Amino acid sequence: MATVPPGTKVRLLPEDEYTHTPDAALNYNESMYFNMFDPAAKTGGWFRLGNRPNEGYAEMSVCLYLPDGRVAFTYAKPKISDNKAMNAGGMKIDVIEPFKRLRLTFSGKAVVLKNPFDMADPAKAFKENPVVPCEVELDYEGVSPMFGGETVKEDGSPLDLDPEKSFAKAHYEQHMAAKGRFKIGEENFEVNGFGLRDKSWGPRYWQSIHWYRWLPMNFGRDFGMMISIVTNDEGHQRQGGMVLKDGKYDLIKSCTIDSDWDKNWYQTALRAHVETESGAIYDVDGKVLSLIPLRNRRQSPDGTELNTRITEGMTEYRCNGMTGYGLSEYLDQIVDGQPVGAGN
């Protein structure tokens, strides 16, 4: 595990795969996220379900990248009354065997976007593009150790967090193999590939991070990475992640990401340099194949409108002569109409 603050430790138990008793914080969130990309079909997707039981709703997202560049997308805030299961808005996540096997299903409707950039204006995108039935069935298998957990005090008691400034009190990730199918309208896609999942729980606001760059990728069953750069509004940066090689994680000590942009400040390509705790060095080139811009908005207690943009790019990666696939997820707060991390 990565270095943790003095007087604390990281704890991760098999029962953490299931839902927890919510904190008292109004913005308590428990979420599970999965992605997967089929390297042969150049098809993939990501899926998220976040329970906000103290606010009475969940956040559910499905995003499917199709081989011809179209993207199928849906988002909902279904009502929930408790935190007993990950099952809302047509999405259900079952833990078959903790840390080893999980199953994700979705049944509902999705908008099919010939031009995914349309989602910059969600109301217009859903109005002007076809909305069709959508089904997803995926079986996930862990191919790596677990990365992360809950940071607690040495005696096991929870840390004291400010809910207004929190993004999660616990977080873990794992590289996965995945296989199953997507059905979008009358089209069927059998998929077999690799991805990454994460889980978090605790108070969360999307506006608690100034900007971040998150690059999960897989080059096969035995080689993958997750590269992360998180920056706060004072400019302090946290670099990290891990490299999966031969069934083990080598933690990232430092990393840089240099991005190319279009006129909307959407990433089009990137170059990442990674140095690990074992002394290994990796250089990764990424080309964005398909990108959809998303947003999250809320009002602060003083009435200020807060706007977060998250650009989700299906990305082809090259490293050490290998080609792999994954996501480039760039989160930025929008200030005066511009992403705060533009150029980074």
Res. 3: pLDDT tops 60: no
Residue type, 90: G
- pTM (two decimals): 0.92
Residue located via tokens 């008691």:
157
Judge residue 253's burial from the number of C-beta atoms within 10 Å of its C-beta, 0-12 exposed, 13-18 middle, 19 or more buried: middle
Backbone angles phi, psi at 233, to 5 degrees: -75, -5
Distance CA 252, CA 52 (A): 32
At the topology level of CATH, where does 26-155+168-204 sit?
A: AttH-like fold (2.40.370)
Output the average pLDDT for the chain: 92
Question: Would you state the pLDDT for residue 158?
Answer: 66
Judge residue 114's burial from the number of C-beta atoms within 10 Å of its C-beta, 0-12 exposed, 13-18 middle, 19 or more buried: exposed
Question: Would you state the pLDDT for residue 330?
Answer: 97
Q: How many angstroms separate the Cα of 277 from the Cα of each of 79, 228, 252?
A: 44, 15, 6
The answer to whether the CB of 215 falls within 8 A of the CB of 226 is: yes
Question: Would you state the pLDDT for residue 163?
Answer: 46
Q: Give the tens place of pLDDT for each residue, 191-201.
A: 999 999 999 99
Q: Give the tens place of pLDDT for each residue, 160-193.
A: 655 445 445 789 999 999 999 999 999 999 999 9
In the chain, where are the structural domains located?
Answer: 26-155+168-204, 205-344
CATH classification for the domain delimited by 205-344, as one of 3.40.50.620, 3.40.50.1820, 2.40.370.10, 3.90.1150.10: 2.40.370.10
Q: How many angstroms separate the Cα of 288 from the Cα of each of 264, 271, 291?
A: 14, 11, 7
Question: Strand locations in 77-117, DSSP E?
Answer: 87-88, 91-97, 101-113
Instruction: Please tell me the total number of residues recorded for the chain in this structure.
Output: 344
Q: Which of 152-161, 239-248, 250-259 has the lowest mean pLDDT?
A: 152-161
pLDDT band at residue 307 using 50, 70 and 90 as cut-offs: confident
The answer to whether the 26-155+168-204 and 205-344 domains have the same CATH topology is yes
The residue with greater pLDDT, 301 or 176, is 176
Question: Would you state the pLDDT for residue 205?
Answer: 64
Question: Would you state the pLDDT for residue 149?
Answer: 92
The answer to whether the CB of 229 falls within 8 A of the CB of 259 is: no
Question: Would you state the pLDDT for residue 166?
Answer: 43
Measure CA 84 to chain center.
Answer: 22
Rg, C-alpha atoms of the chain = 19
Question: Would you state the pLDDT for residue 116?
Answer: 98
The answer to whether the CB of 5 falls within 8 A of the CB of 151 is: yes
The answer to whether the CB of 215 falls within 8 A of the CB of 286 is: yes
Q: Give the tens place of pLDDT for each residue, 114-163.
A: 999 999 999 999 999 999 999 999 999 999 999 999 987 766 666 565 54
